[in-house]
Amino acid sequence: MTGFSRTRDILLREVLGRIQNKLQEVGRLQPGVQKRTIISSAMEKDKGRDRRQKTKELILDSTKHVANVVTPPVCKGMTTLLRSAFDKNFEIPTVTLGSENWSTAFTILKPYLLKIRNLKPVRVSEDGKTKYVYLNPALLKGTSADEFLELLRSQSDTGEVFQSISVESVCFSYDNWSHDQVLDSVLPDDIEKLSSYSKVGHLIHLNLRDHLLPYKDIIGQILLDKIPSTKTVVNKLNTIDNTFRNFQMEVIAGENDTVVTVKHAKCEFQFDFAHVYWNPRLGTEHERIHCLLERGDVLYDVFAGVGPFAVPAGKQKVQVLANDLNPKSFEWLQLNIKKNKVSDYVKAYNLDGRDFITTVVQQDLVARLESGQISQPFHVVMNLPAIAVEFLDAFWNILHGKEVDDLNILVHVYCFVKGAENYKKEALELVKDQLGFQLEEDEVNEVAFVRNVAPNKEMLRVSFKLPKIVLTSPKPVNDGPSPKKRKVSEVTEDESSV
């Protein structure tokens, strides 16, 4: 180690130690450091708003304190959005850089930069020779300007690039705060905050708890303003418990337009979110099923919705028969098939799931058996978790009298399990009960956790091979003592807050 770098090291350690010691103290800047007052770039852009440009140059004195956390003003209880109420001045430590070695300087300054929405932390002087860099006051708390300047200089061989540190009074406005910050500023401290939101195309949907309803307009407006590409914010009016798994909703901000376009699994979907089921949280599960499929396989999608399993499967050149009872889902499904140019692979039906299995699926299987096209795997997807298992007994005897030894039909059925210690075991037992057949271990491919729907309520998938005896025999009539019947589900489709 050279003498120079040893001295630098000792100095650095000393300064760092002092910074730590002083972290709890009030920050102060040394006399002689210039203070200028400017306005943030976001404010400058916003010509329509109250513009307050101060030009007074101040000299800092050692008693001047720097507010250390840059957060919006507190506006508790505001229910109608008043954007100008979010303007606030902060004194921001600013490093002036000389005309050379900027990249070294930025590497050193990076951890201290002030990162605020719509604020560029670096400005260049008009002649292009000087740069001004805003630092986060919270990170400098307790350190004097001289000490900090020393610290910066000691970290670079060309310390002269750090010319001085001043404090600039910067006016931040509504545009500078994130939606979380503005919501925090508005909502009372003693209530549970908005936990999250879901975005579907240009639409944000919320499931506001009762205590947040008085704030629904302002919450909607803040999200509309802050979340990029949002045009509509809706709030659910009920949990999903109707047949078609959609929910009543109220537009609380933006345009009254619930027809959205969404990219999913390399396909583009369009649908009216107010009339069909779509859950962005199922993306991973859709993908898992797509990973099981290969070109030439056959997929029967019993509760297809607008096609998130079926349409991408068509893109994979899987032969798909997709069904949904909701006429609106069926229409959007047909449109999505066309839109994604998979009409050669995906056919749509508008039937009850049981009828679909006993007619369309049955006839397709018979036709394939008769023409000998059965070497490929067959998949049946049943995503209607509240009641899908009740449709399993429809598979009994659909291939009565047929030779099915070489048929490989995998069923992927979804269910909810509530409050069970071993939810996977519970899901499997539920499937066996409802199918009316004790599946052997080697007939069960997977019991997979899909997602948590509400506290203690899980969504699961049971993937199993349809036994030959189920396909070719009538369902046995159980005249013995009835086995313990498990409840299918008291859980509606989505009880989570969003």
433 is in an annotated binding site: no
Work out the angle at residue 18's Cα, subtended by the Cα atoms of residues 14 and 23, and round it to the nearest 5 degrees.
150
383 is in an annotated binding site: yes
Phi, psi of 130 (to 5 degrees): -125, 145
Half-sphere exposure at residue 208, Cβ-oriented, CA atoms within 13 angstroms: 21
Least distance to ligand SAM, CB of residue 327, Å? 9
Least distance to ligand SAM, CB of residue 276, Å? 6
Task: In whole angstroms, give the CA distance from residue 331 to residue 339.
Answer: 12
CB atoms within 10 A of CB 171: 21
Residues in 220-279 that interact with ligand SAM by CB under 6 A: 243-245, 277, 279
Least distance to ligand SAM, CB of residue 194, Å? 25
Task: In whole angstroms, give the CA distance from residue 446 to residue 230.
Answer: 39
Does residue 314 bind ligand SAM (CB under 6 A)?
Answer: no
Task: In whole angstroms, give the CA distance from residue 297 to residue 294.
Answer: 6
Distance of CA 456 to the CA centre of its chain: 21
User: Position of tokens 């210039």?
Assistant: 34
Binding span for ligand SAM by CB under 6 A among 98-106, 202-210, 321-329, 468-476: 321-329
Least distance to ligand SAM, CB of residue 285, Å? 8
Among 258, 383, 434, 463, binds ligand SAM (CB under 6 A): 383
Query: Which positions from 23 to 42 touch ligand SAM by CB under 6 A, shown as an x/- string?
Result: --------------------
What is the side-by-side strand order in the sheet with 162-172?
58-59, 34-39, 162-172, 88-97, 131-134, 122-124
Binding span for ligand SAM by CB under 6 A among 90-98, 250-258, 323-331, 393-401: 323-331
Least distance to ligand SAM, CB of residue 324, Å? 5
Residue closest to ligand SAM, measured at CB: 305
Quote the longest CA-to-CA distance of the chain.
98
Cβ neighbors of 367 (< 8 A, separation 6 or more) are none
Among 93, 142, 201, 308, binds ligand SAM (CB under 6 A): 308
Binding span for ligand SAM by CB under 6 A among 7-15, 192-200, 298-306, 358-366: 298-306
Q: Is residue 416 helix, strand or coil?
A: strand
Q: Enumerate the known binding-site residues for S-adenosyl-L-methionine.
A: 286, 324-325, 352-353, 383
Residues in the site for ligand SAM, rule: CB under 6 A?
243-245, 277, 279, 282, 303-305, 308-309, 323-326, 329, 352-353, 383-384, 493
